Amino acid sequence: HTGERPFVCMECGKSFRQKHHMLSHQSVHTGERPFVCADCGKNFNWKVSLIMHQRIHSGEKPHNCEVCNKTF
């Protein structure tokens, strides 16, 4: 709650509250994309991006329109 951001990226100077957030951020600079789609081989630098991409293959549509109830 102090707002302290002691972990600083040496490449760009962006600061983070937690070390693992800084380490994840560094993939922006290295180009590392460790998360690979098992269906098509596309690579992602964030796990959440891979999870969202996998919906293309599964057909999952987790959201509903409040007006017409259509899924997307």
Q: What is the pTM of this model?
A: 0.64
Amino acid type, 68 = C
In the prediction, which pLDDT does 27 show? 87
Q: What is the pLDDT of residue 14?
A: 98
Name the residue ranges covered by the structural domains of the chain.
34-65
d(CA 58, CA 72): 13
| pLDDT reading at 1 higher than 90 | no
pLDDT range class, residue 24, cuts 50, 70, 90: confident
| pLDDT tens digits for range 42-59 | 999 989 999 999 999 999
| Residue 64 CA, distance from chain mean position | 23
In contact, 33 and 43? CB cutoff 8 Å: yes
